[in-house]
Amino acid sequence: MTRPVLVLNGPNLGRLGSREPDVYGSTSYAGLVEQCRKTGAELGFDVEVRETNDEAELIGWLHEAADGSIPVVLNPGAFTHYSYGLRDAAAQRTAPLIEVHISNPYAREVFRHTSVIAAVASGTIAGFGLTSYDLALQALAAIPPA
């Protein structure tokens, strides 16, 4: 039996492949979705991947995960640095939540050095390109279900 996992992506991640390929790589968003589903299936997860540029929608998805005790891999994108609403929604989690970033925020602009999400996440994985998602799913697989 597979366990559900939500992979949630914030603003501009739907533009992978065309958005700053020197920072985010050349794989498209569709490629990321395929990668997450494949890795998840290998780990016994039923992975659903979502992306939005809308902060309220992302908050709603975190509420859905909390209500269903569904583990989350979250790339909040730019919301990482300032969205207290997203942080408060993530704090309501009832299952593990792994924050991911494709690039290493600490190797970039100073404003990217702060994450308001990190303190309420189970952990953070950053700087390994799209492999950050695989590592997050592996981390979820290592945590026993509640």
Q: Please state the domain extents for the chain.
A: 3-142
The reported pLDDT for the residue numbered 54 is 96
CATH architecture of the domain with residue range 3-142: 3-Layer(aba) Sandwich (3.40)
Task: Mark whether 106 is an active-site residue.
Answer: no
40 compared with 25, residue with greater pLDDT:
40
Active site residue 101: yes
Higher local confidence (pLDDT), 115 or 105: 115
- Contact present, 75 and 10 (Cβ < 8 Å): yes
DSSP state of 17: T
Residues tagged in the binding site annotation for substrate: 75, 81, 88, 102-103, 112
The pLDDT score that the predictor gives to residue 112 is: 67
Q: pLDDT tens across 47-97, in order?
A: 999 999 999 999 999 999 999 999 999 999 888 888 999 999 999 999 999
pLDDT higher at 52 or 113: 52
Q: Given 101, 106, 113, 133, which residue is catalytic?
A: 101
